Chain A
Amino acid sequence: MNALWIAQVGAVLRLELKKTFLSRRGWWIYLLALGPVGLTLIHWLFEAGHPGGRHSLGDDVTAFAALFLLYYLRAGIFFGCMGIFSNLFRGEMLERTLHYYFLTPLRREILVVGKYLAGLTVALAVFVTSVVLSFLFIGRHFGAAYSDYIWHGPGLSQLGWYALVAALACVGYGAVFLMCGLLFKNPMIAAAVVWVWEGINPFLPTLLKKISVIFYLKSLCPVQVPVPPPFSIMVIDAEATPAWVAVPGLLAVAAILLIYSAISARQAEINYGE
């Protein structure tokens, strides 16, 4: 990558962040990220009023695992990334501003990379921060015991894994939705298909399970959450993918999707539907 390309990626990144980061239009994405932070904060404040405690630290660790899987991976990060990344190109087409980029001496591949990095920066900043804060708040009412759990127990390692999984989810879903935004006039239909596919993942045969983002992310989660009855009887167990396969695998899938997006961007024309 030569110096010009780096400078151009930087220019796209700066412009995109200027336009989108902390903009009013992204309120719902920040709400998605702040929701669990607020919830765990309330939990901390609420439970701090019950010194004896109504449950154990282990219960909170499991509750966080459920929160992470059911909310962050299945809803918050998925929909958040959909909002951030599918808007990068499709939003510009809708607002009739993409031609400004196309009229600069910018290789379309560089534009894709720049926009993806801008989206990723926002997604990581918002969701990884949210995950870390929620993890820190959820057991805070245990006081020294929770600090001990973090610093001398498995807490720090779990926090690291959760942050990594959240980051990988942003990387993976980001690449998926950037591509959807480039290829489809209505990326929502594609997103709905992806959502349903990711949702039925536990019930799919082993081979099909592996063609998804959530399967690898779940493998990396430090605490597993069982599927509740009556759906548990339909679950097909598959061997969890080791981290050394899951992490590079996800990165590779994201890279392939980005390459395809770059090829599509190269063919893209300005047609604002007139």
Chain B
Amino acid sequence: MSDSLVTFSNVSRFYGEVLGINKVSLSIPPGITSLVGPNGSGKTTLMNLMCGLIRPTQGEIGVLGISPQHPERLCRVLGYCAQFDAFPKGLTGYQFVYSFLRMFGMSAAECDQRTRTVLQLAGMTEAANRTVAAYSKGMRQRIKLAQAIAHDPRVVVLDEPLNGLDPLARAEAIALFRQWGDEGRHVIVSSHILHEVDRISDQVILLSHGYVVAEGQIHSVRSEVQEQPMQILVRCDRPHVLAARLFQQDHVVEAKLTSDGKGLLLRTRDADRFYLLLNRVVLESGLEVESVAPADDDVSSVYQYLIGEGASV
């Protein structure tokens, strides 16, 4: 097992006769990895497995070379912010973070210091001495995040971490994830807010019905999806000229002018041939091109193509 990767080797997990995940093999490098899939696709199962909360029915898991069957070693390098919105009764935010930090064997002073630091990071300093039961949903989410990262883990696993956060807190959280990713930590996030996944992820893992449908950088994944014509938006001064040329090509499935008359949205089965053609048109007709950009090269589109519209994220 690699000491710098989170690995799944042919891992399956069944709940009785119900499939959790099936024959999953993955190697997750440092950086931000997003797990995307509809409800019941196996995202939480995958996270629970790597955190040792459940055991695989078959296969092996390694988190930086440590088996999840050894929580005493694993939990020193891993922090998990689970989706359960429940807290031990009667504790304040400070007590919640501090008490579980004490179980790492650190001194009281060290725990106090770390608790204060992490509460500040989560923007919870002012509310630290109120009981968690009195927190709003966003505050509860932030205190959970604070508790999960208080011991400075190298692998941070976050199950729907943006749920309940207001736009500002969401932006702050994303910046924090980005920072951790840049520092070389593993940040594994499950989220159903696809445009945010797009913004933050270095790589994505698409899950459906317990199977890994695709994994890797989203652009590579999109280019692998051959059966779906690629959408490209070209903004130029005479889009109708371009459109007329395009209709002569057999790889172009559809082309339509944008409402402002300055753009052309097209769908092609062969992006490379399209780019060659575009170069030719520009040279031959003096077309002034403002921008050329893929219009469905994002998680949302890939999700639609691979998992389908029927699935609820």
List the interface of chain A (C-beta within 8 A of B).
3-4, 7-8, 10-12, 14-15, 18-19, 23, 25, 95-97, 99-108, 269-272
Contact = CB atoms under 8 A, between A and B. Distances in A.
Contact of B88 (A25, A100, A106): A100
Contacts, number: 89
Contact of B51 (A8, A14, A103): A103
Nearest to B144: A100
A97 to B, nearest CB: 5
Interface in B50-100: 51-55, 71-76, 78-80, 82, 84, 86-91, 95, 99-100
B105 interface: yes
Given A11-B103, A96-B86, A270-B54, 7 more contacts: A8-B105, A18-B99, A97-B87, A104-B100, A105-B74, A105-B103, A269-B55
29 contacts: A7-B102, A8-B103, A11-B103, A12-B103, A18-B90, A19-B89, A19-B91, A97-B84, A99-B84, A100-B88, A100-B100, A102-B52, A103-B51, A103-B78, A103-B80, A104-B71, A104-B100, A104-B104, A105-B72, A105-B73, A105-B74, A105-B75, A105-B103, A105-B104, A106-B72, A106-B75, A108-B71, A270-B48, A271-B15
Given A107-B72, A108-B71, A15 B86 contact: no
B147 interface: yes
A103 B90 contact: no
A10 B107 CA distance: 12
A270 B105 contact: no
Nearest to A111: B103
Interface string B225-252: 0000000000000000000000000000
Nearest to A4: B105
Contacts of A15: 88, 99-100, 102
Nearest to A6: B105
A102 B147 CA distance: 13
Nearest to B89: A19
Interface of B: 15, 48, 51-55, 71-76, 78-80, 82, 84, 86-91, 95, 99-100, 102-105, 147-148
Given A18-B90, A105-B104, A270 B53 contact: yes
A10 B55 CA distance: 28
Nearest to A24: B90
Given A103-B75, A270-B54, A96 B84 contact: yes
A76 B79 CA distance: 42
B95 A18 contact: yes
A14 B75 contact: no
A17 to B, nearest CB: 11
